[in-house]
């Protein structure tokens, strides 16, 4: 997969992922509305279709973030970057536009999302820092074991 920002295929995969993810949530919401309205058969159709949309989205994610290049630490860093963008740029801009249009309810929703995105970013940052410490400690243990194995092998070869 081309990782260049100007790749049309990359942009298409990002757009396709966004559309499939949005369809999943929208259909889940429509299922909730249908069930509340006493239409369980319509709710089931929306739920079944929503599950298919998730599979489509995961297919796109497999190409966007290949498993062999997406370590847990990389995933945490990507999530942190996304959440930071949301609370530092995206939601504040959305909030300002909503207020300019007199849409106070939308502005309030964006305010809530700014706070929640900041909380998510902090959680990802803490876990990324914790993981870095753990991996550092694990690397030290592995190096001690490797040194011990090398010494034992050297002694064995000298005999």
pLDDT of residue 154: 75
Q: Are residues 133 and 86 in the same domain?
A: yes
Radius of gyration over every alpha carbon of the chain, rounded to an integer in angstroms: 24
Distance CA 47, CA 34 (A): 10
Q: What is the pLDDT of residue 5?
A: 77
Number of domains in the chain: 2
| Band (150; pLDDT cuts 50, 70, 90) | confident
Whether residue 85 sits in one domain with residue 39: no
Model pTM?
0.75
Distance, in Å, from the CA atom of 119 to the CA atom of 131, rounded to the nearest integer, reads 18
DSSP 8-state code for residue 68:
G
pLDDT score, position 81: 96
Q: Among the listed ranges 54-58, 65-69, 129-133, which one has the minimum average pLDDT value? A: 129-133
Q: Which domain does 59 fall in, by range?
A: 1-70
- Burial (CB < 10 A; 0-12, 13-18, 19+), residue 91, is buried
Same domain, 75 and 148: yes
Tell me the pLDDT of the chain averaged across its residues: 91
Has residue 119 got a pLDDT over 90? yes
């Amino acid at each position: 997969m081309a990782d260049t920002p100007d790749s049309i295929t990359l942009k298409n995969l990002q757009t396709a992922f966004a559309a499939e993810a949005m369809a999943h949530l929208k259909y889940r919401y429509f299922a909730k509305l249908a069930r509340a309205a006493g239409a369980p058969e319509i709710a089931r159709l929306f739920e079944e279709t929503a599950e298919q949309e998730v599979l489509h989205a995961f297919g796109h994610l497999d190409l966007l973030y290949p498993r062999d290049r997406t370590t847990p630490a990389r995933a945490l860093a990507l999530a942190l970057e996304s959440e930071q963008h949301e609370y530092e740029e995206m939601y504040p801009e959305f909030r300002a536009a909503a207020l300019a249009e007199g849409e106070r309810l939308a502005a309030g929703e964006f305010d809530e999302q700014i706070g929640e995105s900041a909380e998510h970013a902090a959680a990802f940052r803490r876990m990324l820092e914790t993981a870095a410490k753990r991996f550092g400690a694990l690397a030290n243990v592995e190096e001690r074991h490797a040194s011990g194995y090398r010494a034992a092998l050297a002694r064995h070869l000298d005999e």
